[in-house]
A and B are shown apart, each in its own frame.
Chain A
């Protein structure tokens, strides 16, 4: 039985993101994937928490796909964490609804891999920015999958981008 996937896509301007679109298009057609484009669903940030939680309950894998903004998630995805991963539901007393599910983080960055090292533009290896996401999943009792990080996404050649998208699709099918 294939895992059911809920894919939360958080890009404020989807049409302007070539990388985001290519990656998403690679997995959108998979029958077990349910894409929820958060910025389009909730342009006023009025997240329908119940609908979001219903979608999560019906899935085995949760994908967070977004650009990498300011060393973290875009405002909408962070807002989604705050609203949907509620105490008593996702964590805390009685908060066991997500236990055992798996989380895959897929993100695109604006700088090349080489910018993420000591002394370079971003000062730290990219791994240094992962724990906040990972611990969010672990705190809710979920299993953390190796993230997919596409660096320098807007400068990436079409072929390389297509390869990243194919890898993304392969990973989802394998989960």
Chain B
């Protein structure tokens, strides 16, 4: 990492990112372009603040691994299975069509057939990082277009494995048998399957029970790093292994906790990855042969985009969106770097082709955001006019119960018994286990975390029941809901009078003191045991409740004034005594059927 040390480089990356990315976002160029520009600026051809680009790129690829893990978490096995046709059918078609077109182009510029084939197939791969990040920023990842693009990208991740394996064979410098390699791949996938399916969830439960948030995060990272190691040892794409692990954990109750914990790491590492790509752009080579580089970049993107647009119909992308689709995955991908690296070692690519193609891929990545910008300028009006409905998954329940302890459980069971499926948020792994058995949708985590609320679908919630134990947490949650999810009605459990006033002061109308009603019922039973008619006891309790609530409500305007609050409370107590004395007098002064009719 150079003489400056790790912290210095971290400072450079972070500073470059926070300078370039907000500007790029502001100019509506997308964050990816911002990172790429930042990379160019600090790289060996810019300010030369960072030199060891390759180890950084290698490290930052872990961001792509984390991204694929997170995408896997969104797809449980059933949904993945339902995607088998777009993945295998659509993916094969894309690889065949783009691969053939690019190989032909390679032959046309005079490459030998082996080199043309390897380069053609490697360039047919697109960048998952660029495409997914771009789709996400455009809010199109879950649209039909986005899911087709993602299916194609997923297949490419798988196709890259044999491609990398086949390069040494083509160059005639084969090492090791194909059989052993295949066996290693199968073994690694089996290991990931066993880990994800049977080992991880009990371990997560164990770790969650410690209640130490950072240990949970550490374990989540360890899990992904470990799986990436297993896969890379077998020569399989680390990202694919992480994706598989994500899918296996998609139906786990810790899905959202994992998501919220991994997300920031993914974001930072993805940023670093784009910066590294920017840094790796070899402007020296570009200056040397500007025309051929420009021609190659334009050629690559044009051939790929035209081919993609041509097959878009067969991939069931609507005619209106085929150019968006083509633009989003028109670039070369990060796997191409690896393939060209291997091909260079195997002397498969003649002369400077290896370095040139690497540069072309990096530039094509940078071209994607620009291409989309141009595309939007030209086509945006048509698309806006009749944009197809996004098939976004709205799994958020209309009711969320935050806190599922003794209080929340009763609320939840009543709703459940009335046919309402609530989404439950709680941080106690033991009760979560039990609830899952009863078919509740339970998310493990801290309900006062905005990201968890988003994950639980709070933006679609009609109602949030705030049943947390902790007064501060409850108040915080109410603030969050008011600010970010104003459409959600709130029913809140309050622990005491101060808490009651806090929430009422925040405009929450539906508040229930947790012990008040049961204490009133106990009071009624006491009166009954002393010989008061049960219905009469109920009326006393009703009157007491009404008076009590009125008194509390009178305190609301005086919340900050302690002495005034006390005096209002004292006056109220006296008033209640007077009222009860009056009641007693009424009862004693009447006899017989005084309530009868209306004489």
List A residues at the B interface (Cβ < 8 Å): 12-20, 39-41, 43-44, 67-70, 76, 108-111, 121, 153-155
Residue from the list B593, B597, B598 in contact with A17, Cβ < 8 A: B593
A110 to chain B: which residues have CB within 8 Å?
593, 596-599
Of B534, B590, B599, the contact of A40 (CB 8 Å cutoff) = B534
- For the complex formed, measure the closest distance between the CB of A80 and the CB atoms of chain B, giving whole angstroms: 14
Least CB distance from A92 to B in Å reads 25
Q: Is the CB of B597 within 8 A of A69?
A: yes
A155 to B533, CA, bound (A): 23
Q: Nearest B residue to A38 by beta-carbon distance?
A: B535
Task: Verify if B536 is at the interface (C-beta below 8 Å from A).
Answer: yes
Nearest-Cβ distance from residue B522 to partner chain A, whole angstroms: 14
Report how far A44 CA is from B525 CA in the complex, Å. Answer: 13
A19 contact set on B, CB distance < 8 A: 592-593
- Residues 567-599 (chain B) with a chain A CB within 8 angstroms: 587, 590-599
Not counting A12-B535, A70-B597, A111-B599, a sample of 20 additional A-B residue pairs whose C-beta atoms are within 8 angstroms of each other reads: A12-B533, A13-B533, A14-B533, A15-B536, A16-B587, A16-B595, A17-B593, A40-B533, A40-B534, A44-B538, A67-B595, A68-B596, A70-B598, A76-B535, A108-B593, A110-B593, A153-B592, A153-B593, A154-B593, A154-B594
Identify which of B531, B533, B537, B538 gathers the most chain A CB atoms within 10 Å of its CB: B533
Complex Cα spacing A16 to B592, Å? 6
**A166 to B538, alpha carbons, bound, how many Å?**
33
Contacts of A43 in B (CB 8 A): 524, 534-535, 537-538
Decide yes or no: A154 and B535 within 8 Å by CB, A16-B587, A110-B598 being known contacts: no
Closest partner residue, chain B, to A156 (CB atom): B592
Tell me which residues across on chain A come within 8 A of B591, comparing CB atoms: 16, 18, 154
Q: Which of B52-103 contact A (CB under 8 A)?
A: none
Is there contact, CB below 8 Å, between B596 and A154? yes
- Total of A-B residue pairs, C-beta within 8 Å: 72
Q: How far is the CA of A122 from the CA of B536 in the complex (A)?
A: 29
The interface residues of chain A lying within 8 Å CB-to-CB of B597 are 67-70, 109-111
Do the beta carbons of B534 and A39 come within 8 Å of each other? Answer: yes
Rounded to whole angstroms, the CA-CA distance of A40 and B536 in the bound complex is 9
Selected A-B contacts with CB under 8 Å, 8 pairs: A14-B533, A15-B531, A15-B536, A17-B592, A19-B592, A43-B535, A76-B535, A153-B592
Interchain CA distance A108-B587 in the complex, whole Å:
20
- B593 to A12, Cβ gap below 8 A? no
Q: Could you tell me if A67 and B535 are in contact, using CB atoms closer than 8 angstroms? A: no
* Whole-angstrom CA separation of A155 from B598 in the bound complex: 14
Q: How distant is A56 from chain B, measured CB to nearest CB, in Å? A: 22
Q: Which residue of B lies closest to A19 (CB)?
A: B593
Please state if B593 and A15 are interface contacts (CB–CB under 8 Å). no
Closest to B593 in A: A154
* CB-CB nearest 9 A-B residue pairs: A154-B592, A154-B593, A110-B596, A110-B597, A43-B534, A39-B535, A43-B538, A43-B535, A40-B534
Instruction: Given the known inter-chain contacts A18-B591, A154-B591, please indicate yes or no for A12 contacting B536, CB distance below 8 A.
Output: yes
Complex CA–CA separation, A44 to B542 (angstroms): 10
Interfacial chain A residues near B587, Cβ < 8 Å: 16
B535 touches A13 (CB 8 A): yes
Chain B nearest CB from A161 CB (Å) reads: 10
> Using an 8 Å CB-CB cutoff, how does the interface string of B514-555 with A read, 1 for contact, 0 for none?
000000000010000001011111100000000000000000
Cα separation A15 to B403 with both chains bound (whole Å): 45
| B-chain residues with CB within 8 Å of residue A154 when the two chains form the complex | 591-594, 596
B592 near A13 with CB under 8 A, answer no
Measured CB to CB, the nearest residue on chain B to A71 is B597
| CA–CA, A109 and B594, complex, Å | 11
Report how far A37 CA is from B1 CA in the complex, Å: 87
Smallest distance from the beta carbon of B285 to chain A beta carbons, Å?
Answer: 83
A1 to B60 CA separation, bound complex (whole angstroms): 94
**Residue of chain B at shortest CB distance from A21:** B592
Complex Cα distance A73/B585, Å?
A: 28
CB distance from B42 to the nearest CB of A (A): 72
Across-interface contacts of A18 in B (CB, < 8 A): 591-593
A115–B594 Cα distance when bound, in Å, is: 17
List the B residue with the shortest CB-CB distance to A122.
B597
Bound complex: CA of A43 vs CA of B532, how far in Å?
12
